[in-house]
Amino acid sequence: MARILITSALPYINGIKHLGNLVGSQLPADLYARYQRGRGHEVMFICATDEHGTPAELAAAKAGKPVAEYCTELHEVQAGIARGFGLSFDHFGRSSSPQNHRLTQHFAGRLAEAGLIEEVAEKQMYSNADGRFLPDRYIEGTCPNCGYDRARGDQCENCTKQLDPTDLINPRSAISGSTDLEVRETKHLFLRQSAMRDRLNDWIDEKTDWPVLTTSIAKKWLNDGDGLQDRGITRDLDWGIPVRKGDQDWPGMEGKVFYVWFDAPIEYIAATAEWAEARGLDDAAWRRWWRTDEGAGDVRYVQFMGKDNVPFHTLSFPATIMGSGEPWKLVDYIKSFNYLNYDGGQFSTSQGRGVFMDQALSILPSDYWRWWLLSHAPENSDSEFTWENFQTSVNKDLADVLGNFVSRITKFCRSKFGETVPEGGAQASAEEALIADLTTRVRAYQANMDAMEVRKSATELRAIWVAGNEYLQSAAPWSTFKTDPAQAAAQVRLGLNLIRLYAILSRPFIPDAAEAMMQAMGSDDWSWPEDVAAALSALPPGHAFTVPDVMFRKITDEEREDWQTRFAGLRT
């Protein structure tokens, strides 16, 4: 049994996320966690809300609430939506937790002792109207690279170019909108990433199995221009983790907090500590996942994230871990994703354009969304959500293929043999051919899931569903029954066992439907089908089952048109 640590990039606290955010990190991470648990491995699946930095302060101010209160409320909202989508986190933590305060300050102290933190006097924007220094995300303006007029002072979300506030054209305060800004001197701490460049480069070179998307972004940041730059890790904000060296004050840094991108990845570790404390476990319970000198040496650590988060996870966070000089677990594999676009454009919170996670759950159950998003995951390039494609995928894959198979075989059995698995007959060449085909396909499915090839896994799973339908159509037990009831019984028996097999294989993708299938088959044995032939005889003659309700309903043209209009947003 392997031990697998899985983390998903932390969603920002400032509001409910759209479907592109979901498929870029949390959902594929859940797919992998569910699959590995299904194979019998020990899994620790961690995520949390990212609660510090400018977005939290601005969102709280807009809501008219103290930032701590706002974050507590939004954490509960995001946790509830995650449950609604069946995200099987072992713990969904908070970056504002006491555990993250302690660990962030601990790492800062260790980095300072190693000579990897430098105090730098720098010029920073000061807003006379607001009476304060403006951290980079408090400044908006026009991107000098692409001309986007709402670029932030740290990065342009349109072209993803990293920026400094002074790079922006026509900068303005994100708080008041004032352009009455001036440059003043202030002091901040910088992580000397440049001193870690060679070590990081060698470490990345070792990761020959990483996706091209991950390594190409990491190498670009390492080698473009002047190479890897030192990065500020403090900000002039009220909300955040106070700057300290472990449990000691940091002279000259009074009133400052750590930069959100310094403390957020450390929350992966802290959230595991939160998990242990919530269960009344001692520190050894979480340290065995993170300290290689305390049991984490045999852990495989996998991270999931969108491509915009790759630089921080391939460079900044590893620099923090390595630079500490302590035996913390480094990531083994980073699965990164491109962007999901929406119906000819981009998702937009400000314009209300696109489907957000709470809206999705209000119109259809989570499995409909899970299936489409995972089967269209933006792995090798950006992908696009369209209502036409969504309708087609749900109606054909879920309703016509999987749902129809379950309905036909259970209803036919009930009408001819009752609600127990029928006895009699024997497997013929058609059944043996199906078992051989499924054995090959299940192995291919496993290989794709092990490799985190999400779309290929979905394609193989659908092919497994289709194989059962094709067998049922060819065997036609409703016709066989007229001349050879015993053989029809054997065909139906195989079909009922196929439903149980489908439940096990489909559970990572569509967990609610899988539970319904397994419950209908009167079984709670989720053992992975290492032997497909044996799995297809797991339900013996006489075993009781029930006919489930409709597994998946079809989306009508009227619904599709209504949703397309409702979520179009304000078009420009």
Detail the residues annotated as belonging to a binding site: 143, 146, 156, 159, 349
| Apex 89 CA angle, 84 and 94, nearest 5 | 95
Binding residues for Zn(2+) are 143, 146, 156, 159
Kind and range of the H or E element at 187? Answer: strand 181-191
CA distances from 497 to 493, 529, 560 (A): 6, 12, 35
d(CA 213, CA 380): 8
Distance CA 201, CA 196 (A): 8
Instruction: Tokens for 57, please give them.
Output: 């302060």
Rounded-to-integer distance, Cα 126 and Cα 139, Å = 10
What residues are designated binding site for ATP? 349
CB of 496 within 8 A of CB of 433?
no
Sequence-distant (6+) residues with CB within 8 A of 447 are none
Name residue, tokens 């959230």.
271
Which structure tokens are listed for 72?
Answer: 């507590």
Do the beta carbons of residue 287 and residue 295 sit within 8 Å? yes
In a 10 Å sphere around its CB, with 0-12 CB exposed, 13-18 middle and 19+ buried, how is residue 78 labelled?
A: buried
133: phi then psi, degrees, rounded to nearest 5: -70, 145
Q: What is the largest CA-CA distance in the chain?
A: 92
Q: Is residue 517 classed exposed, middle or buried when 0-12, 13-18 and 19+ CB atoms within 10 A define those classes?
A: buried
Smallest CA-to-CA distance from 270 within 105, 75, 74, 53 is with: 105
Angle at the Cα of 233 (from 229 to 235), degrees rounded to 5? 125
Q: Report d(CA 461, CA 441) in Å as an integer.
A: 8
